[in-house]
Amino acid sequence: MRHGLVQFLIGALFVSCALAQRQVPKGSGPGPSRTSRPSEFELLHTRYRFENDGTGSKEVIAKIRILNEMGARQRSEEVIEYRWLSEDLEIRYVQVRKKDGTLVKVETGPIERASDLPKDVTKYDYNEKRVRIPGLVPGDLIEYDVVYVIHRPLGPGEFYAPHTFTSESAIDEQLSVDVPRHRAVKVKNVASTKFWETGDATREVYHWRKIHQEANQARIIPFQPGRMPDVQVSSFANWEDVGRWYSDLQASQSKPTPEIRAKADELTKGLATDLEKVEALYNFAAKKIKYMSLSSLGVGGYEPHSGDETIQNAYGDCKDKVALLAALLESQGLHGSSVLISADRKIDLDIPSPWPFDHVIMMLHLGGQTIWMDPSPAVLPFRMLSYQLRNKQGLVMPPDGKPHFEKTPSDASVPNIWVEEVDGQVDEDGTLQATVSITAHGDAELTIRQSFIGPVESVWPFTVQAVVKGIDRRADKVSAVKISGPTDTNQPFALTFRISKPHFLDFSKSGAKLKLPLSDLHLPPAEEQGVTDATGWHRLESEPVRLEPPGKRTYRIKLELPPTLSIELPESVAFAHAGGTYRASYKWDAGSLVVERELTFSKDQLPAQLREEYAAFRSKALSDEERALKVQVASQNTTSQSQ
């Protein structure tokens, strides 16, 4: 487990290339009491120092009090991560101050490349140093001083320092950024932190401090997607400079070599149009190059590998795959533009920097069309961007033009459809035997396609259990799983399987009820979104209601029951709200229950003033979806079958 030192590394993770939509936490309260927390920072001081050429250092000085036995176990090993291609690590000291005042020095050993890292990691700007701290007991105070010496800057003469004050019970947290005087920098911080400046004839030092009078006043601040750093210091003068900086990093790595040209010629052989060629090259980068993301920081986390190396490795992260695609396109006389973007980080126009971007995609102008491509996931259809990247500002870097912001399309290039059909029967002993068929297209297909990339056929039943709601892993049996190609994105994804659910219906007792199996229309919650500030988590009733990407989800079931049984049918329903509709029909057909439910969304969000309207719609739809149908035996006087 990584603790302490890991949390305070410079720079933003770039190779994460995060695509999944993350849920915003519902709320927060005060952090745990002092006695229940494993440990706390009595002091945490981070010091940056930059030179005009972009080199510099980051020093972290900390004092951590061990509060209980759990804290002693957790802090018995500190893992220090750093960027071995762009910085050197210096551990000035790690020591433990005992309750009686005795000072115990901790042996840290030499700084070497970690031998237990996976082989492929050595090609990335990542290393770690483990420091074991034996003999910890409650009341001990760990003290350390660690320096990261930056020998390779982000770019010539450029530096950037983002900092977010920890939410983990730091009583006294300080930050200082030391830059050459007369060096133009942009500085921004949240109002809740104390700020002052010092300096002399040659240096300018910016200081921030955040103090909790008592440790138990510290709050556990929930994760908020896109939350900006509390403090930002950037040497970039404008966003064009940020774009040129990344273009320079990518330029040499995306040039078409003879090997790249040969591969592109092979992939496009016999294709008549440029659009067909673009699709073939995209499919290669997306589907034949495995996506792999490693925790890499700093400039090494922004600079892609060359196209040749990515092909040789047969894997890469977002920037590697985009650089490869750019080289393949260029070899065919097609000039793509890399685009820096993020699924959730907001762009603060006041502070030009790399921070707002954690992903790279591709844009290409072709015969009057603008083609957007994201080759990172192998499951995206050609020209489609994931929902999280649509209608977002991206920094476009044309090969021969000025970097500029441009908004991605708001609509998907393929319809968003999910159709689930269940054809089953209930045996005399109450067991359900059914065949389930699922067809998914557009946004609906991405997650389920991704789930089947990697697992071998023998484990597909377990994959089905993980992705289809309503399956009891302990009792239900899934078999005869068949799928279309997980990366065959020219067609909707198709999944069929057999399921056996013992004890699905107990009709030996009067008043038995039947709940339709495997129904999941996936209605988003109506709760307000929120933000975190210095005083904690706040709901924002002014935030829009986040729905699903526009599309349709359909559930159909034909369920044959034993001849002695019938169902008391509810009335069919149909209702709507400002952003969509819901309908459900129920009928009896020759001894079988036939039900169809359909949910549509015409908008992906609603204004805040419609929150209550949507909440009422959602409650009504869920009541219908979750309703239990009353089962009757044939001997009873009922006319339900004739309805």
Q: Does some domain include residue 412?
A: no
Tell me how long the chain is: 643
Report the CATH number at residue 87.
2.60.40.3140
Q: Does some domain include residue 511?
A: yes
Edge-to-edge strand list for the sheet holding 160-163: 160-163, 231-234, 186-189
Q: Does some domain include residue 70?
A: yes
Which residues, in sequence order, are CB contacts of 605 under 8 Å at separation 6+? 544, 545, 546, 547, 579
DSSP structure class, residue 379: T
> Are 82 and 188 in the same domain?
yes
- Position of tokens 């035996």? 633
Q: Does some domain include residue 122?
A: yes
> Are 216 and 257 in the same domain?
no
Number of Cβ within 10 Å of residue 559's Cβ equals: 23
> For residue 252, which phi and psi values (nearest 5 degrees)?
-70, -25
Asked if 230 contacts 186 with a C-beta cutoff of 8 angstroms, the reply is no
- Position of tokens 């400046």? 197
> Are 402 and 540 in the same domain?
no
As a three-state string, the secondary structure of 490-556 is CCCEEEEEEEEECCCCCCCCCCCEEECCCCCCCCCCCCCEEEEECCEEEEECCCCEECCCCEEEEEE
Q: Does some domain include residue 426?
A: yes
Asked if 82 contacts 89 with a C-beta cutoff of 8 angstroms, the reply is yes
Q: Does some domain include residue 286?
A: yes
| Alpha carbon distance 177, 206 (integer Å) | 5
Q: Does some domain include residue 67?
A: yes
Q: How many whole angstroms from its chain centre is CA 64?
A: 31
Query: Which pLDDT belongs to residue 540?
Result: 60
Which residues, in sequence order, are CB contacts of 108 under 8 Å at separation 6+? 91, 94, 129, 131
Asked if 249 contacts 309 with a C-beta cutoff of 8 angstroms, the reply is no
Handedness of CA 502, 507, 511, 517 (dihedral sign): positive
Query: Which pLDDT belongs to residue 126?
Result: 74
Final residue of a structural domain among 407, 431, 460: 407
Extract the tokens encoding 303. 């600079």
> Are 247 and 231 in the same domain?
no
Asked if 576 contacts 611 with a C-beta cutoff of 8 angstroms, the reply is no
pTM: 0.85
Closest to 545 (Cα-Cα) out of 606, 492, 486: 606
> Are 400 and 491 in the same domain?
no
Report the CATH number at residue 323.
3.10.620.30
Final residue of a structural domain among 384, 407, 430: 407
Asked if 95 contacts 23 with a C-beta cutoff of 8 angstroms, the reply is no
| Alpha carbon distance 465, 463 (integer Å) | 5
Final residue of a structural domain among 407, 435, 457: 407
As averages over each run of 10 residues, the pLDDT of the chain (643 residues) reads 32 36 35 69 96 96 95 92 88 95 90 56 70 94 96 92 79 95 93 88 95 54 66 96 94 94 97 97 96 61 89 93 97 96 90 93 95 96 95 94 96 94 94 97 95 92 92 92 95 97 84 89 78 50 86 96 89 95 94 95 93 94 93 59 43
Asked if 453 contacts 501 with a C-beta cutoff of 8 angstroms, the reply is no
> Are 96 and 201 in the same domain?
yes
> Are 426 and 379 in the same domain?
no
| Alpha carbon distance 599, 583 (integer Å) | 7
Q: Does some domain include residue 15?
A: yes
> Are 364 and 280 in the same domain?
yes
> Are 344 and 207 in the same domain?
no
| Torsion angle, alpha carbons of 161, 167, 171, 172, to 10 | 10
| Torsion angle, alpha carbons of 311, 312, 314, 316, to 10 | -70
> What DSSP letter does each residue of 254-311 carry, written as one string?
GSPPHHHHHHHHHHHTT--SHHHHHHHHHHIIIIISEE------GGGGTSPPPHHHHH
> Are 139 and 162 in the same domain?
yes
Which residues, in sequence order, are CB contacts of 435 under 8 Å at separation 6+? 422, 423, 424, 496, 497, 498
Domain count along the chain: 3
> Are 168 and 292 in the same domain?
no
Structural domain for 334, as ranges:
241-407
> Are 327 and 421 in the same domain?
no
Q: Please, where are the H alpha helices in 76-131? A: none
| Alpha carbon distance 426, 392 (integer Å) | 49
Which residues, in sequence order, are CB contacts of 268 under 8 Å at separation 6+? 276, 277, 280, 281, 332
Amino acid at site 73? R
